[in-house]
Amino acid sequence: MFHADRRRFLIGAAATAGLFATRATAQAPAGPFAQSPLPYAPGALEPHIDAKTMEIHHGRHHAAYVGNMNTFARDTPALGQKPIHEVLADLNSVPEAIRTGVRNNLGGHANHTMFWQIMGPGGGKPEGEVLAAIDRDLGGLDKMQADFNAAGLRVFGSGWTFITVTKDGKLAIVSKPNQDTPLMDGARALLGNDVWEHAYYLNYQNRRADYLKAWWNVVNWGEVARRYAAARAGTLTV
Ligand code: MN
């Protein structure tokens, strides 16, 4: 095989294997931060979230946050030696020169790790203790979704809307700018939706309201119930 042909073959093979997904972070060290694979196929959330959006979102955006954290950890190994939620709850102990970078990239890593897990195909409906908490604290499922969507729509620019959960099981709707997370307040996210344009623009363009409404079709309520129980037990992290 001529060199050029061989190179073309290798590029094709790499593209087929999805290896280009992490090319943007190829320069970054391999650890200590790591990205879990998507727990379902990229097209599994269609028609609500398209495969291309999922591939770019997980394979480029989230991967870049992880790669950037590994670059920070090369010079500041302590970053990788504490649980992620503890670093985010104590950003003042991060060296000032990299504090904003850690806030953005580790926040992004934590938020997206949660995000992939709390979505899935055929996510069902809330029930049991989670539904009871939604009824008690957020005025029921319909009101909760309407208020959550309105909060997501009010985020100016990039950010997230979350439902936070306390150890007592109390719920609240909270929005954050950029990649900030309730973990930075020492709180916990039961679930959250990414309202950065990269989360929806290919399919919805400027129609964030449509994305927010459709997103509820892919919430994995079984995983949300697991997170609620973990929060009550004090074991919920990111
Ligand atoms: Mn995102």
**pLDDT tens by residue, 158-205:** 999 999 999 999 999 999 999 999 999 999 999 999 999 999 999 999
Give the Å distance between the CA of 4 and the centre of ligand 1: 37
Measured in Å, residue 195 CA sits from the centre of ligand 1 at 8
CA atoms of 187 and 162, how far apart (whole Å)? 11
User: Which residue's entry shows tokens 């504490």?
Assistant: 82
Q: Output the CATH code of domain 128-233.
A: 3.55.40.20
If you measure from the C-alpha of residue 172 to the centroid of ligand 1, how many angstroms do you get, rounded to a whole number? 22
Indicate if the alpha-carbon torsion angle 43, 190, 145, 158 is positive or negative: negative
**pLDDT for 122:** 85
Distance CA 37, CA 83 (A): 20
pLDDT tens digits for 148-164? 999 999 999 999 999 99
- How confident is residue 46, by pLDDT bands cut at 50, 70 and 90? very high
92 CA from centroid of ligand 1 (Å): 24
Taking the centre of ligand 1 as the mean of its atom positions, its distance from the CA of residue 215, in whole angstroms, is 14
As given in the structure block, the two tokens for residue 117 are 């897990």
Q: Where are the domains of the chain?
A: 2-31+50-117, 128-233
**Predicted local distance difference test score (pLDDT) of residue 8:** 39
Mean pLDDT for 103-113 is: 98
**Å from CA of 8 to ligand 1 middle:** 32
Residue 224 and residue 211: Cα distance in Å, rounded? Answer: 20
Q: How confident is the model at residue 27 (pLDDT cuts 50, 70, 90)?
A: low
Backbone angles phi and psi of 31, in degrees to 5: -145, -175
For domain 2-31+50-117, say whether CATH 1.10.10.10 is its number: no
Distance 7 CA to ligand 1 centre (A): 33
Ramachandran angles phi, psi of 188, nearest 5°? -130, 145
In 3D space, the residue among 226, 236, 216, 230 whose CA is nearest the CA of residue 123 turns out to be 216
Cα 179 to Cα 171: distance, rounded to the nearest angstrom: 21
Instruction: Place 30 in a pLDDT band, splitting at 50, 70 and 90.
Output: confident
Q: How far apart are CA 21 and CA 203, in angstroms?
A: 20
**Distance in Å, CA 196 to ligand 1 centroid:** 6
Percent of the chain's residues with pLDDT above 90: 86
The predicted pLDDT at position 16 comes to 35
- What's the whole-number average pLDDT of the chain? 91
pLDDT of 12 above 50? no
Query: Distance (Å, rounded) from C-alpha 21 to C-alpha 62?
Result: 10
What does each C-alpha distance from 123 to 88, 119, 215, 232 come to in angstroms?
Answer: 29, 7, 11, 22
> If you measure from the C-alpha of residue 2 to the centroid of ligand 1, how many angstroms do you get, rounded to a whole number?
41
pLDDT grade for 29, boundaries at 50, 70 and 90: confident
- Cα of 224 vs centre of ligand 1, distance in Å, is 19
Residues 6+ apart with CB under 8 A from 18: 55, 59
Q: What is the mean pLDDT of residues 126-142?
A: 98
